[in-house]
Structure 1
Amino acid sequence: MKIGIIIGSIRDGRFGEAVARWVLEGARGRGTEGFEYELIDLKEFNVPLLTSEVVPGAANKQYHDPNVTAWSRAIDACEGFIFVTPEYNHGIPGAFKNAYDALGSEWYRKPVGFVGYGASNAIRAIEQWRQIVSNFAQIDVRNQVELSLFQDADENGFAPGERRSGELENMLNSLEDAVSILNK
């Protein structure tokens, strides 16, 4: 079962790329049988602003823009997700929200875990994502990883604190359980 680790920032020099690679390394290092983890870099898809007349939920995965079609295929190929999300101005990143909104059934009933980062550990962004993903009946796992730009970074960039690996392990356990239950 494939779990996509989505890098939710498209900014140059983004902190989230190092965070996502840490998540990928931690997930693959577990050696959990039956699970495959893959990075999905939102920046690579260049999803345009949602302007389509057809509501994505009614598009039947038939999109006019080839970038949205490629994004759709990447998301549809996964049974679950980890959103690596920054917190911008006490909220979720606009580009990630737009890309989420550009799709419909590709998200339906697929579990999601959260790894957030920001000045205030991305707590508000994660909570906003929980409200958003409920629209597609996604199961959001309770365990999450909240990273601080101050405490989980040093002069070289991302440097997760000692307890973060345990938090990641707990979130991954919960996510794999949810994916397994929904895919029986």
Structure 2
Amino acid sequence: MMKIAVVVGSTRPQRRSRQVAEWVLSRAVARGGADFELLDLADYNLPLLDEPMPPSMGQYSHEHTKVWAEAIARFDGFVFVTAEYNHSVPGALKNALDYVYAEWNNKAAGFVSYGSAGGVRAVENLRLITAELQMAGVRAQVALPFATEFENYTVFTPSDDAEEALKPLLDQLISWSAALKTLRT
């Protein structure tokens, strides 16, 4: 069975990513086809990248990096739930991605974003970052504009369109996760 993490991509106080990630997780678990788990960056408290060697060397010296590497290595695919900060991803998400390298390789990535423009510019950046980490981003994605998907811009209230957009993302992610697993064995 594939193991897929739903990554809460913001650590900011009052963040919306946890609400969105819990929605993704609930729909994914109901769909089935893989074991899904929430992976909240706030639970790892990673400092700004502080490893002396490049992550591609795989020589992690700090305990927090080793714990993070073990967490990422357990999964076959990821749904990144990201806000859009200044036309890009939150710094905490970029930092978490940069911490390790081989643990991301040959795994599938799906993207759920939110923001004033649905977070699409964050996903554009995230696709480039994950490609450099040798991840395969699936085509389907979910973009959630604050104006239509969040009551008073704070409480996540997914529309029927959002619900429908999530289905192909999960379908593609599970398929790609299974296909890429053959490269890692």
Give, in angstroms, the shift of residue 135 of structure 1. 1.1
After TM superposition, the structure 1 = structure 2 runs for residues 12-161 of structure 1, keeping only pairs within 5 Å, are 12-32=13-33, 35-59=34-58, 62-155=59-152, 157-161=155-159
| Cα shift readout 1:84-137 (whole Å, capped 9, x = no counterpart) | 011001111111101110111000010000000111101110011111111122
Give, in angstroms, the shift of residue 63 of structure 1. 2.0
CA distance in 2, matches of 1:76, 1:31: 21
* More helix per residue: 2
| Residue 5 (structure 2) aligns with | 4
CA RMSD of aligned residues (A): 1.2
CA distance in 1, matches of 2:134, 2:93: 18
- Which residues of structure 1 form unaligned runs of 5+? none
Identity %: 38
| Cα shift readout 1:47-100 (whole Å, capped 9, x = no counterpart) | 1111322101102xx422222211111111000000001100111111110111
Q: Helix, strand or coil: the match of 1:105?
A: coil
Give, in angstroms, the shift of residue 172 of structure 1. 0.3
| Residue identity matched to 1:148 | P
| Residue 160 (structure 2) aligns with | 162
| Cα shift readout 1:150-178 (whole Å, capped 9, x = no counterpart) | 11011460001111111000100010111
| Residue 171 (structure 2) aligns with | 173
Q: How many matched pairs?
A: 180
Deviates more, 1:144-153 or 1:63-72: 63-72
**Normalization by structure 1: what TM-score?**
0.94
CA distance in 2, matches of 1:31, 1:51: 38
Is 1:110–1:139's contact at 8 Å kept on the other side of the alignment? Answer: yes
Deviates more, 1:20-29 or 1:156-165: 156-165
CA distance in 1, matches of 2:181, 2:79: 17
